[in-house]
A = this chain, B = another copy of it.
Amino acid sequence: MSVKASPHSLRVLQTDSALYNKCLYLRMLVTESTLRTFTKNIFLSIGCSDEHATLATDVLIKADMRGIDSHGVARLMGYVRLWEKQRINTKPNIQIVYETPTTATVDGDAGLGLVVAPFAMQIAIEKARQYGSGWVAIRNSNHFGIAGYHALMAVEKDMIGYAMTNASPLVAPTFSNERMLGTNPMCYAFPAGKYPPVVVDMATSAAANGKLEIAQRSGKQVPEGWIQDEQGNYTTDPHALKNRGSLLPLGSDREHGSHKGFGLSAVVDILSGVLSGANYGPWVPPFVSFLEPPTDPVGAGIGHFVGAMRVDGFRPADEFKSNMDNWIARFKSASPINPDQKVIIPGEPELEAEIYRKQNGIPLVDAVVKDLNELAGKLKVSPLAS
């Protein structure tokens, strides 16, 4: 089922330059249900319970549906390799280790972050239901997929959702050439009325690592301000990151506010790592299995931080939602510089991708199909048709 991107799909895919570039490598379109079945079988085959396999699949597929391809099934091989190295425990005993009425720390027992983070978010939501707000720091976890999945769990309950995670070090603080921080994403999600939720889900680096990988594959240069080389000189060579270079914080340089991007990334690292008792900064274990974790850990696994606040803890929910609708409508109508490019409400492109892909399928690139079918062969799971 090898396809060329149709003009219509191109229009949608252009909403994300990463996706657009990937069209060069488009191998196949798969339906959501096909990809779900395949993914769940992989998780079952590495020892997840049916409940955990279903949940982990849901988190992963949500990324593919929302067009955040770098965080979907493209990562499946990575999780399996960490399991092979016994760095991911597929039968974790996830538990609360510290608690007040509205706060808690959860130990993920080295489980999949895809399972640990929703567990923690359920606790936050229940605390918010009872007391107005709930906050959970998580240690001893692994990569949790897209932050937006977890934050949106709260939105379904008319709550504001927060989710963030630290990650293996790729980003240098302002004035340094040392990789000290992950791309450390933060997500805030707000329910609205007639409009879809506003979802701000962003890496705190100038560019996400996935965008560099695309440039590497296509042999293109990247804009100045995304990365620096080993000596700390700005470079447009996307391969510099592999050669001991580093990503730059949001803001790119001091003059344009890179100290703010560094500060935001520090907030994510402190809430996710220091507050929970996970590793932080340069001690965060790498996602890739071919790199060993630091031998002098300062905590357990990687850390997340999630939270929920009841909207009606502040004002009646219908009032809030009606004001959110007005906020969204006003920002959508903000005067555009170019009449063909209106202001984009945070979360809007992801929802558009979700609607489009539900109807038209999820595009997978060559390298991912190859990985997934290799995995299927190894784990004796039915491959994707190709």
| B337 close to A176 (CB less than 8 A) | yes
Give the interface of A toward B (CB within 8 A): 98-105, 131-133, 135, 137, 160, 172-178, 180, 188, 190, 198, 200, 202-204, 206-207, 223, 225-226, 231-232, 250-252, 255-257, 259-264, 266-267, 269-271, 273-277, 280-282, 298-299, 309-311, 313-315, 319-320, 323-324, 326-327, 330-331, 334-338, 341-344, 346
Task: Kindly provide the distance from the CB of A211 to the nearest chain B CB, expressed in whole angstroms.
Answer: 10
Q: Would you give 11 A-B contacts (Cβ < 8 Å), ordered by A?
A: A98-B313, A137-B315, A172-B334, A175-B342, A177-B335, A177-B336, A198-B266, A206-B256, A207-B257, A223-B255, A275-B314
Task: Kindly provide the distance from the CB of A63 to the nearest chain B CB, expressed in whole angstroms.
Answer: 18
Task: Kindly provide the distance from the CB of A303 to the nearest chain B CB, expressed in whole angstroms.
Answer: 11
What is the chain B residue whose CB lies nearest that of A333? B178
The docked-state distance in angstroms from the alpha carbon of A176 to that of B344 is 10
In the complex, which residues of chain B have a beta carbon less than 8 angstroms from the beta carbon of A252?
252, 256
| A274 close to B327 (CB less than 8 A) | yes
Of the candidates B105, B251, B338, which one forms a contact with A251 in the assembled complex, judged by CB atoms under 8 Å apart? Answer: B251
The docked-state distance in angstroms from the alpha carbon of A195 to that of B75 is 39
| A274 close to B178 (CB less than 8 A) | no
Known A-B contacts A190-B270, A202-B260, A311-B275; the reply to A173 vs B331 at CB < 8 A is yes
| B263 close to A257 (CB less than 8 A) | no
What is the chain B residue whose CB lies nearest that of A101? B131
Of the candidates B137, B204, B259, B346, which one forms a contact with A314 in the assembled complex, judged by CB atoms under 8 Å apart? Answer: B137
| B135 close to A176 (CB less than 8 A) | no
Known A-B contacts A176-B336, A250-B257; the reply to A324 vs B270 at CB < 8 A is yes
| B315 close to A275 (CB less than 8 A) | yes
Task: Kindly provide the distance from the CB of A309 to the nearest chain B CB, expressed in whole angstroms.
Answer: 6
What is the chain B residue whose CB lies nearest that of A207? B257
| A105 close to B314 (CB less than 8 A) | yes
In the complex, which residues of chain B have a beta carbon less than 8 angstroms from the beta carbon of A310?
100, 103
| B257 close to A198 (CB less than 8 A) | no
What is the chain B residue whose CB lies nearest that of A211? B255
Other A-B contacts than A137-B315, A226-B256, 12 sampled, CB-CB below 8 A, are A99-B313, A100-B132, A100-B313, A101-B102, A102-B131, A102-B313, A103-B314, A105-B315, A137-B314, A173-B343, A188-B267, A203-B260
The docked-state distance in angstroms from the alpha carbon of A39 to that of B220 is 58
| A231 close to B337 (CB less than 8 A) | yes
What is the chain B residue whose CB lies nearest that of A199? B263
The docked-state distance in angstroms from the alpha carbon of A313 to that of B137 is 10
| B259 close to A346 (CB less than 8 A) | yes
Task: Kindly provide the distance from the CB of A154 to the nearest chain B CB, expressed in whole angstroms.
Answer: 14
| B309 close to A174 (CB less than 8 A) | no
In the complex, which residues of chain B have a beta carbon less than 8 angstroms from the beta carbon of A256?
206-207, 223, 225-226, 251-252, 256
- Which 10 A-B pairs have CB atoms at the shortest separation, nearest pair first? A103-B313, A100-B132, A232-B337, A200-B263, A103-B132, A178-B335, A102-B132, A176-B334, A100-B313, A202-B260
Known A-B contacts A298-B323, A315-B276; the reply to A173 vs B257 at CB < 8 A is no
